[in-house]
Amino acid sequence: MALTLNLASRSFLHHFSSLTIFAPADSAFSRSGQPPLSLLQYHLLPHAFSPESLRSLPLNAKISTMLPSRFLTVTNDEIRISLNNVTVDTPPVYDDGSLIIFGIEKFFNPFFEISNSSSKRIIHPNNECRRRRDSVIESNPVEALAAALRNRGWSVMASFLDMQILGFHKEPAVTIFAPTDDSLMNRVSNFSDWMSMFRRHVVPCKLWWSDLTNLGGGTEIKTYLRGFGINVKRSNGVLTLNDRSVIYPDMLYSEGIVVHGIGGILEIEKEMKGEIEESSSSSMGNGGSPESGFEESDRDKAVTHYHFSVIR
């Protein structure tokens, strides 16, 4: 365990504002010998996850690690917190809010896979994706959600909610894909850039993790930034959004809103930037909504691909 902490402190801690470390027991090192650095990277998460956060993650959700393209799989049951079928000891060995260390009895297996039988799930359509008069986001839940988001370490996106940029009180339901603070810092220089940044991470529909996992590769989801869509891809069973992994599914939710933590900013491709800027300017001058970026004629259009449809 001491070896894990020593290498982590020297190699990673100064690069991230928060970190989770899963430290195998000394007996695991005795059985396996000195592990390669890549295996130790697999035991580090680039964000601080509390026991409550880990316990709230959906079964079979994938969590990004510091080992590129390798994920931990949530295998929790009613009694224990478990990742890759390895029990995570609680309470943490150490927790100062930004660095959390959990003990585990053995190393995680980077090649862990769940069986087909355990991964089957029944997905029900999310009726809140349809515009309904009785489903309206109120200001108080938004304020409470912003406070909870800030407590989880997503302060930048919490500030967007505080500012009410999109006028959430006018919207029936939204999904927010929240990049980490580390990825957002020092990326934009003025308010219009922040507006664009926020709108591309908000979807005009409430999509739970179960809804996202039901989407096939090739799905494109419209966002509040006109001309910008989120492309859903699957690789080795891992779902990505514009090549960004969902590191914290169903992180927070309230009436009409669900928030998923993602591992980085949803980038705009260079060839799309001019088109997006032009269409946004056009909508502002032709009766489009300055808050949402959607014209009235877009209100009833669906976010679609070959077998999925979400009606606003």
pLDDT of residue 283: 42
Please write the tens of the pLDDT for every residue from 133-172.
334 455 567 788 888 898 888 988 888 888 765 566 566 7
- Pair 155, 245 in one domain: yes
Both tokens of 204, joined, read: 């005009």
Name the band, by pLDDT with cuts 50, 70 and 90, for residue 81.
Answer: very high
Please write the tens of the pLDDT for every residue from 36-46.
888 989 999 98
pLDDT of residue 259: 94
Please give the mean pLDDT across all residues of the chain: 76
Please write the tens of the pLDDT for every residue from 118-128.
433 333 334 33
Burial of residue 59 (number of CB atoms within 10 Å: 0-12, 13-18, 19+): middle
Mean pLDDT of 95-120: 81
**Does residue 62 fall inside a structural domain?**
yes
Among candidate residues 62, 83, 112, the one where a domain is terminated: 112
pLDDT of residue 168: 60
- Pair 169, 306 in one domain: yes
- Pair 47, 134 in one domain: no
pLDDT of residue 17: 77
**Does residue 122 fall inside a structural domain?**
no
- Pair 158, 286 in one domain: yes
- Chain-centroid distance, C-alpha 69: 16
Domain that holds residue 187: 127-311
Q: Compare 282 and 275 and report the one with higher pLDDT.
A: 275
Comparing 30-34, 115-119, 255-259, the range with the smallest average pLDDT is 115-119
Please write the tens of the pLDDT for every residue from 252-267.
887 788 999 998 999 8
Q: Compare 168 and 211 and report the one with higher pLDDT.
A: 211
3-state secondary structure of 69: coil
- Pair 273, 166 in one domain: yes
Helix and strand totals (H; E) in the chain: 11, 17
- Pair 179, 101 in one domain: no
d(Cα 83, Cα 68) in Å, to the nearest integer? 18
List the one residue out of 303, 214, 212 whose CA is nearest residue 250.
Answer: 212
**Does residue 231 fall inside a structural domain?**
yes
Among candidate residues 112, 140, 159, the one where a domain is terminated: 112
The interaxial angle of helices 139-151 and 155-163, nearest 10 deg, is 160
Examine the pLDDT at 249 and tell me if it is beyond 80: yes
**Does residue 263 fall inside a structural domain?**
yes
- Pair 46, 139 in one domain: no
pLDDT of residue 115: 62
**What percent of the chain shows pLDDT beyond 70?**
68
- Pair 278, 132 in one domain: yes
CATH of the domain at 37: 2.30.180.10
- Pair 145, 89 in one domain: no
Count of structural domains, the chain? 2
d(Cα 280, Cα 272) in Å, to the nearest integer? 12
- Pair 203, 107 in one domain: no
- Pair 184, 272 in one domain: yes
**Does residue 173 fall inside a structural domain?**
yes
Q: Compare 311 and 112 and report the one with higher pLDDT.
A: 112
Among candidate residues 87, 112, 137, the one where a domain is terminated: 112
- Pair 163, 295 in one domain: yes
**Does residue 117 fall inside a structural domain?**
no
Name the band, by pLDDT with cuts 50, 70 and 90, for residue 95.
Answer: very high
**Does residue 119 fall inside a structural domain?**
no
Comparing 187-191, 236-240, 274-278, the range with the smallest average pLDDT is 274-278
pTM of the full structure: 0.65
**Does residue 266 fall inside a structural domain?**
yes
All residues at 6 or more sequence positions from 63 whose CB lies less than 8 Å from its CB, including other chains: 45, 49, 57, 71, 72, 73, 74, 83, 247, 248
